[in-house]
């Protein structure tokens, strides 16, 4: 069991900054959150916490929002068990169910069963919801697919359920890689799962690339994605707030990508582009 720090962030105004703060905190190692009426509680393993990284968060310098915080060390508890207790089934457009084994079958056309460990991407976050919502209208039949920054690999699993051919899933986090392997087996799909970043892609080519990450990594990695995307291939992005879209599209335009579809949920956005 890990020692955790609990941070109590007070946020004024609360919306939309609470979601944006959570997205930024994930990038510096925070892995679970509880929403409060005046802010959020955020948790990070004590040995992963870097005070300098926290102080450098862009949102803490934003004059449009006031954020203060206190923190305390938490007792040794089984955080996976706590996570599972609070995991609820997800229904996406009455088409896709994402649930744990201990939930009842919702009898929707598509079902994904995951072990809800602390990997990002269970479907609760708006960006994962948006990605699957976009994927419902895409053709995956026999396509080669990459799920970049896969988290639980729920997107890669859904691609396989929609008829995808060879499908790779890559994440920088060892925990996500192990969880992805478990989830692939649980859903009876075959994925090639590995730990790494876009630098590990090599010369492999893909028809569809799924990347639900964050603005900075996407801006850095989109040229690499394009280099391994087949002509006519599709790049589906999320992890973006509405105010990130112009910067992302500038990079995409420079890479000769054409915007095909944009959808938004709350302050979060997903973009479907084509090479």
- The response to whether 128 counts as a known ligand-binding position is yes
Terminal CA-to-CA distance of the chain, rounded, Å?
46
Structure tokens that stand for 61 in this block: 């310098």
Centre a 10 Å sphere on the Cβ of residue 74 and count the other Cβ atoms it contains: 14
- The response to whether 232 counts as a known ligand-binding position is no
- The response to whether 163 counts as a known ligand-binding position is no
Burial readout 34-72 (b: 16 or more C-beta within 10 A, e: otherwise): eeeeebbebbbeeeebeeeebeebebbeeeebebebebe
Burial readout 105-117 (b: 16 or more C-beta within 10 A, e: otherwise): eeebebebbbbbb
- The response to whether 137 counts as a known ligand-binding position is no
List C-alpha distances in Å: 12 to 17, 18, 38, 65, 149. 8, 9, 7, 6, 31
List C-alpha distances in Å: 99 to 12, 87, 91, 241. 34, 8, 9, 26
Q: Are the CB atoms for 193 and 167 separated by under 8 Å?
A: no
CA distance 161 to 155: 10
Binding site, annotated residues: 128, 149, 171, 212
Binding-site annotation, residues for S-adenosyl-L-methionine = 128, 149, 171, 212
């Amino acid at each position: 069991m890990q020692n955790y720090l609990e941070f109590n962030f007070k946020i004024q105004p609360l919306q939309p900054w609470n979601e944006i703060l959570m997205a930024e905190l994930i990038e510096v190692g925070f892995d679970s959150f509880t929403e409060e009426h005046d802010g959020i509680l955020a948790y990070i393993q004590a040995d992963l916490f870097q005070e300098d990284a926290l102080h450098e968060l862009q949102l803490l310098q934003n004059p449009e929002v006031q954020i203060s915080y206190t923190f305390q060390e938490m007792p040794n508890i089984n955080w996976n068990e706590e996570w599972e207790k609070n995991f609820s089934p997800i229904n996406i457009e009455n088409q896709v169910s994402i649930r744990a084994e201990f939930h009842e079958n919702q009898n929707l056309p598509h079902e994904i069963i995951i072990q809800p460990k602390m990997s990002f991407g269970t479907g609760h976050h708006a960006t994962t919801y948006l990605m699957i919502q976009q994927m419902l209208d895409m053709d995956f039949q026999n396509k080669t697919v990459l799920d970049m920054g896969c988290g639980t690999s729920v997107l890669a699993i859904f691609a396989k359920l929609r008829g995808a051919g060879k499908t790779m899933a890559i994440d920088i986090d060892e925990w996500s890689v192990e969880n992805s392997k478990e989830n692939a087996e649980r859903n009876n799909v075959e994925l090639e799962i590995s730990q790494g970043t876009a630098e590990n892609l090599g010369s492999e080519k893909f028809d569809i690339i799924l990347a639900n990450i964050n603005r900075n990594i996407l801006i850095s990695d989109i040229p690499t994605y394009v280099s391994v995307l087949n002509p006519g291939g599709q790049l589906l992005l999320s992890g973006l707030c509405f105010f990130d879209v112009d910067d992302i599209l500038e990079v995409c335009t420079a890479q000769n990508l054409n915007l095909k579809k944009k959808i938004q949920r709350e302050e979060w956005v997903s973009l479907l582009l084509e090479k």
